[in-house]
């Protein structure tokens, strides 16, 4: 069996297992979700610790997302992450800060990622990742218009700390990648379960995958998929397609199942410096211009690419 046939056989088995996992989770899973990204394909370490160090060099990325612009209290997210392989063979480390603000609630996550990678063939690798997190929660109840007398809503929450742990598996070749992960296992309750105000962190299950086709020497095509399942929320499926021209210009679009359409543009300013922009438009009633002006996202990523070795150009994932 040729190399392509082996990959197809592996992909079928991988997707069968992952599909069963996602369906089990969605059927067995009231929920607080992780931050949402349109350019998730450039921010994989945020959802899968197995990605840490997989680019083969140190990589730093900063992302800002303003969701449903014009709608008061809409989500605003900032992410900063750095990850790199380290001196010990197969080991990768990463660190991330994610700040997510929704209305009177502000959360900041500090994540430390560890990955260990093994070669599964001469062209493919499998990484096992662990994530340790510290969450700081602020809730300003004083900013709410309250219509009920709940004692738990009388005092603001300042820097409530809760730890968490997560894990992920990430497989990749030069052209293909796929991973499954749960960034946070612990389901922390932030309020008294018996009160009217209960917020509980839920496990978010992720499946991410993509493939790069060389259509010709100057044009690449990369479809990607991100699936997220969390108890108490609809199954989220994001499908995107990007084209890269001459290793410089990236143009693409995305569809979030029953939720939004997106346009994306990116530019490799240099071999290691990527600028990416995205715009989402809701296809639900929330997408009406009377409610908001859409969602905007910008990402800057810099790769410290070494001139040594076989890496001649930045990877498309």
Q: Which domains does the chain have, with CATH numbers?
A: 32-304 (2.40.160.40)
* Mean per-residue pLDDT pooled into runs of 10, the chain (317 residues): 49 41 35 78 94 94 93 91 90 96 90 96 96 90 59 67 96 96 84 51 91 96 95 90 96 94 96 94 74 90 75 64
User: Measured between alpha carbons, how far is 191 from 141 in angstroms, rounded to an integer?
Assistant: 13
Q: What are phi and psi of 26, to 5 degrees?
A: -70, -25
What pLDDT score does 160 carry? 85
91: which 2 tokens?
A: 């080991």
Check if the beta carbon of residue 109 is closer than 8 Å to that of residue 97: yes
Q: Is the dihedral of CA 70, 71, 72, 78 positive or negative?
A: negative
Do 224 and 41 touch, CB atoms closer than 8 A? yes
For position 30, what pLDDT does the model report? 40
As a residue count, the chain comes to 317
Q: Model pTM? A: 0.82
* Residue 249: predicted pLDDT: 97
């Amino acid at each position: 069996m040729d190399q392509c046939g082996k990959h197809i056989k592996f992909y079928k088995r991988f997707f069968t297992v992952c599909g069963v996992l996602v369906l089990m989770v969605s059927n067995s899973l009231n929920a607080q979700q992780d931050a949402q990204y349109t350019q998730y394909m450039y921010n994989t370490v945020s959802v899968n610790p197995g990605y840490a160090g997989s680019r083969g060099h140190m990589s730093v990325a900063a992302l800002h997302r303003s969701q449903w612009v014009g709608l008061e209290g809409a989500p605003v997210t900032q992410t900063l992450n750095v990850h790199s392989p380290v001196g010990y063979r197969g080991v990768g480390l990463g660190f991330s800060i994610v700040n997510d603000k929704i209305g009177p609630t502000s959360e900041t996550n500090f994540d430390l990622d560890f990955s260990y990678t093994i070669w599964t063939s001469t062209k493919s690798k499998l990484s096992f990742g662990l994530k340790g997190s510290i969450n700081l929660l602020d809730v300003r109840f004083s900013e709410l218009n309250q219509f009920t007398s709940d004692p738990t809503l009388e005092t603001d929450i300042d820097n409530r700390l809760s730890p968490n742990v997560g894990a992920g598996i990430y497989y990749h070749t030069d052209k293909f990648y796929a991973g499954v992960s749960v960034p946070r296992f612990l389901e922390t309750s932030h309020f008294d379960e018996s009160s009217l105000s209960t917020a509980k962190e839920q496990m978010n299950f992720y499946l991410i995958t993509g493939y790069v086709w060389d259509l010709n020497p100057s044009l690449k095509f990369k479809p990607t998929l991100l699936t997220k399942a969390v108890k108490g929320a609809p199954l989220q499926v994001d499908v995107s397609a990007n084209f890269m021209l001459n290793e410089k210009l990236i143009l693409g679009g995305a569809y979030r199942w029953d939720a939004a359409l997106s346009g994306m543009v990116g530019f490799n300013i240099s071999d290691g410096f990527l600028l990416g922009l995205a715009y989402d438009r809701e296809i639900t009633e929330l997408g009406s211009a009377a409610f908001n002006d859409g969602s905007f996202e910008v990402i800057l990523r810099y790769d410290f690419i070494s001139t040594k070795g076989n890496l001649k150009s930045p990877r498309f994932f």
